[in-house]
């Protein structure tokens, strides 16, 4: 009844009246945890309705990723294991922000009823996960309370899991033959650990005695990824006995001074280009290290350079370069003539990819290189168009998508193909999470690729040398930002205001003209989708040129 609903909503009231509006951005709802209680409750309701309607499993992940500890957020996972379908975003947003919750719910029910292609299933399951934030437990309780209201068949609380673990588990729950299978993270470790072990066993045998395990130092950003390194290691040891990888965990969140994402984690390392806390420059010089973010859906590699904070970074762009190199080599091994020509292999980047990475990928044979709008959903969708689609944001979010049937069709017509080489490629591609970027899966894939290519960290870093680049942001009010219209496909230019774009073009051309032949420069402006800032990206052949262009353009925007 309305009275019961009213009571349920009053149990999860907005923090203030009226509450600050919450947009569902590329990262779901995200804000200071103090204003999120009612949003969590309503997301639980929404997730349950979607689960009931589709008679499938839907996921809800409580996390604010790389944000500061006092923030939190929620991302919903669709039955496919992917992000919430775009057409549902405004419907959910309207409900979460409705002044009158009961009325909002009525409108929501009407809209869900009107959705095409959804049956009145009546079953459905909501699977909930959370990161390690202090506020997460209370917010998860609100999600479950909401889901309970809508008569969903079951609610499974996975506790502390990474975002990609939740995506994967939802996908597995809805896969054919999933009935009766236990729902938990063991299926995740078995899948990814198993794929890695299979790949490793297909490499040429190591000389005996077996080499010492290869050491990797993992910065877990004091987040949820820290809890998953030991089980992953155990799984590898059990299947490969002994494990070829030795994973050393740092920033695991167990020390009293450890703060989530504070001076550590993938976002900090990539944006600040500084060593995370706890990594000693002198002691660890030349060692292979990596950083995850707070919910372990991003990963970057680095190696301390010796002096103070200096490091050599292998970011998302370089991971894409490594994976493409490995995949190319594997394809060529299967069929020397075709080298993968018969397959559609593509790599998807954003305008923030360093120009040197794009040039490197461009010269790989039979690899299509595309640039799409910022935001993981755009990259994921574009990568789905290929038989093998690699995608990465420079910040370390990415994966490799594969159409298994197409791969099989291609290989089946190769005469006298190398069976073992084919199995190796299939095993390698099996290491990637098909639903979202995944720090743990990407860690395994990176270690596998380096081993296969017989590359050291230094070899990998030297695949290409980044062009000097500068990223700046200028705070501007939303109404001003709304006037900036980036190119709808690639965001490398502004279609409006034309005068601003013309002044960018002029500044870039004059820098190039000053230096003459062989000098390159590029700059673009776009409004951020997650903050009230305008972002400026500049790159040039020389650091001095990049600085000058950046200063000049910054002055034009401010």
Q: Annotated binding residue at 535?
A: yes
Rounded to the nearest 5°, which phi and psi values hold at 182? -65, 135
Residues 6+ apart with CB under 8 A from 64: 27, 30, 33, 71, 72, 73, 131, 133, 294
The pattern of x and - marking residues 7 through 26 that bind Zn ion according to CB under 5 A reads --------------------
Q: Annotated binding residue at 393?
A: yes
Minimum distance, C-beta of residue 488 to ligand NG1, in the bound complex (Å): 15
Beta bridge partners of 522: 539
Beta bridge partners of 358: none
Beta bridge partners of 304: 311
Q: Annotated binding residue at 517?
A: no
Minimum distance, C-beta of residue 528 to ligand NG1, in the bound complex (Å): 3
Give the Å distances, CA to CA, from 389 to 71, 397, 428.
Answer: 33, 14, 14
Contact 530, 478 (CB under 8 A): no
Q: Is 345 or 371 the residue whose CB approaches ligand NG1 more closely?
A: 371
Q: Annotated binding residue at 316?
A: no
d(CA 249, CA 291): 10
Q: Annotated binding residue at 395?
A: yes
Helix then strand then coil, % of the chain, to nearest 5: 40, 20, 40
Q: Annotated binding residue at 132?
A: no
d(CA 21, CA 31): 10
Q: Is 146 or 375 the residue whose CB approaches ligand NG1 more closely?
A: 375
Catalytic residue among 1, 10, 17, 65: 65
Minimum distance, C-beta of residue 408 to ligand NG1, in the bound complex (Å): 34
Q: Is 61 or 463 the residue whose CB approaches Zn ion more closely?
A: 61
The residue ranges that bind ligand NG1 (CB under 6 A) are 26-27, 352, 374, 393, 395, 528-531, 535
Minimum distance, C-beta of residue 65 to ligand NG1, in the bound complex (Å): 7
Give the Å distances, CA to CA, from 386 to 81, 344, 362, 464, 555.
Answer: 19, 5, 16, 25, 41
Q: Is 267 or 491 the residue whose CB approaches Zn ion more closely?
A: 267
The CB-nearest residue to Zn ion is: 65
Give the Å distances, CA to CA, from 355 to 362, 433, 459.
Answer: 10, 27, 19
Applying the rule CB under 5 A, the residues between 253 and 312 that interact with Zn ion are 293, 295, 297
From Zn ion, ligand NG1, none, interface partner of 229 (C-beta below 5 to 8 A by class): none
From Zn ion, ligand NG1, none, interface partner of 295 (C-beta below 5 to 8 A by class): Zn ion
Q: Is 294 or 355 the residue whose CB approaches Zn ion more closely?
A: 294
Place of tokens 């109404």: 479
Q: Annotated binding residue at 394?
A: yes
Q: Is 312 or 439 the residue whose CB approaches Zn ion more closely?
A: 439
71 is a contact residue toward Zn ion (CB under 5 A): no
- By CB atoms closer than 10 A (0-12, 13-18, 19+), residue 255 is exposed
From ligand NG1, Zn ion, none, interface partner of 352 (C-beta below 5 to 8 A by class): ligand NG1
Minimum distance, C-beta of residue 470 to ligand NG1, in the bound complex (Å): 12
Minimum distance, C-beta of residue 129 to Zn ion, in the bound complex (Å): 13
Q: Annotated binding residue at 297?
A: yes
Q: What ranges make up the beta strands (E) of 87-213?
A: 125-130, 154-160
Angle between helices 186-201 and 419-429 (to 10 degrees): 150
DSSP, res 175: S
From Zn ion, ligand NG1, none, interface partner of 530 (C-beta below 5 to 8 A by class): ligand NG1
Clarify whether 214 is annotated catalytic.
no
Binding residues for substrate, as ranges, are 393-395, 526-530, 535
The residues carrying an active-site annotation are 65
Binding residues, as ranges, are 65, 293, 295, 297, 393-395, 526-530, 535
């Amino acid at each position: 009844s309305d009275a019961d609903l009213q009571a349920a909503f009053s149990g999860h009231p907005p923090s203030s009246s009226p509450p600050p509006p919450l947009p569902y951005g590329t990262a779901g709802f995200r804000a200071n945890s103090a204003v999120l209680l009612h949003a969590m409750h309503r997301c639980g309701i929404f997730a349950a309705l979607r689960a009931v309607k589709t008679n499938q499993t839907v996921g809800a992940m409580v996390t604010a990723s790389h944000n500061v500890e006092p923030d939190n957020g929620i991302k919903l996972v669709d039955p496919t294991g992917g992000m919430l379908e775009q057409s549902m975003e405004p419907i959910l947003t309207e409900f979460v922000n409705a002044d009158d919750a009961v009325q909002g719910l009525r409108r929501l029910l009407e809209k869900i009823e009107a959705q095409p292609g959804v049956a009145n299933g009546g079953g459905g399951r909501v699977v909930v996960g959370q990161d390690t934030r202090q506020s997460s437990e209370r917010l998860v309780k609100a999600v479950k309370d909401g889901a309970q209201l809508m008569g969903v068949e079951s609610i499974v609380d996975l506790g502390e899991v990474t975002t990609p673990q939740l995506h994967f588990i939802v996908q597995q729950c809805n896969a054919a033959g999933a009935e009766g299978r236990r729902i938990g993270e063991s299926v995740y470790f078995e899948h990814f650990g198993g794929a890695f072990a299979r790949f490793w066993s297909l490499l040429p045998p190591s000389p005996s005695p077996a080499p010492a395990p290869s050491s990797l130092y993992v910065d877990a950003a004091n987040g949820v990824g820290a809890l998953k390194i030991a089980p992953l290691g155990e799984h590898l040891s059990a299947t490969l006995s002994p494990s070829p990888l030795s994973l050393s965990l740092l920033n695991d969140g167990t020390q009293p001074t450890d703060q989530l994402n504070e001076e550590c984690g993938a976002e900090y390392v990539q944006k600040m280009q500084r060593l995370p806390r706890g990594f000693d420059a002198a002691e660890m010089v030349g060692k292979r290290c990596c950083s995850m973010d707070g919910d372990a859906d991003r990963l970057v590699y680095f190696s301390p350079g010796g002096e103070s904070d200096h490091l050599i970074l292998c970011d998302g762009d370089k991971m894409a370069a490594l994976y493409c190199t490995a995949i190319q080599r594997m394809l060529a091994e299967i069929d020397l003539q075709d080298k993968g020509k018969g397959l559609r292999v593509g790599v998807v980047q954003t305008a923030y990819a360093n120009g040197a990475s794009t040039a490197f990928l461009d010269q790989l044979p039979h690899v299509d290189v595309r640039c799409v709008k910022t935001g993981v959903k755009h990259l994921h969708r574009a990568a789905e168009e290929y038989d093998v689609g690699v995608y990465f944001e420079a910040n370390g979010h990415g994966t490799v998508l594969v159409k298994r049937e197409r791969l099989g069709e291609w290989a089946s017509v190769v005469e006298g193909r190398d069976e073992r080489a084919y199995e190796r490629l299939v095993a390698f591609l099996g290491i990637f999470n098909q639903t979202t970027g995944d720090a743990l899966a990407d860690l395994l894939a990176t270690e596998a690729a380096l081993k296969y290519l017989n590359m050291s960290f230094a070899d990998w870093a030297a695949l290409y040398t980044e062009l000097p680049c500068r990223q700046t942001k200028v705070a501007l009010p939303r109404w001003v930002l709304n006037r900036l219209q980036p190119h709808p496909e690639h965001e490398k230019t502004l279609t409006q205001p034309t005068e601003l774009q013309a002044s960018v073009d002029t500044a870039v051309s004059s820098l190039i003209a000053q230096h003459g032949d062989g000098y390159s420069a590029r700059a673009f402006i776009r409004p951020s989708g997650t903050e009230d800032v305008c972002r400026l990206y500049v790159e040039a052949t020389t650091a001095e040129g990049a600085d000058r262009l950046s200063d000049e353009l910054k002055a034009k925007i401010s």
